[in-house]
Amino acid sequence: MRGEKLTGNFVRVSCRDCGNEQIIFERACTKISCNICGATLVQPAGGKAKLVSAAIVESLE
Ligand SMILES: [Zn+2]
């Protein structure tokens, strides 16, 4: 470790397709799918995950 911050936030997102809400890690390094309809919510983008079919509802600590 060289002092980098390894912290990240969790965010509550809402699926644009079905409205399901899920809590995801904002810096997800894998694709995350909706638990209900299977739509791709976010995909990794080398930092903050890119929202695909999701809208952020709120940020959590
Ligand atoms: Zn969905």
Question: Which tens digit of pLDDT belongs to each residue from 7-42?
Answer: 678 999 999 999 999 999 999 999 999 999 999 999
Query: Has this prediction a pTM greater than 0.85?
Result: no
Q: 5 CA distance to ligand 1 centroid (A)?
A: 32
Compute the 3-state secondary structure of the chain and give helix, strand, coil in percent, each to the nearest 5. Answer: 0, 45, 55
CA of 16 to the centre of ligand 1 (A): 7
What pLDDT was estimated at residue 6?
Answer: 57
Domains of the chain from N-terminus onward: 10-60 (2.20.25.100)
Residue whose C-alpha is closest to residue 11's, from 37, 32, 2, 1: 32
How far, in Å, are 23, 26, 27, 39 from residue 10 at the CA level?
7, 5, 8, 19
Q: Which pLDDT score, from 0 to 100, does residue 61 have?
A: 74
Distance 2 CA to ligand 1 centre (A): 39
What per-residue confidence (pLDDT) applies to 46? 87
Tokens coding 28: 């997800």
Query: What pLDDT does 5 receive?
Result: 57
**pLDDT on residue 1:** 43
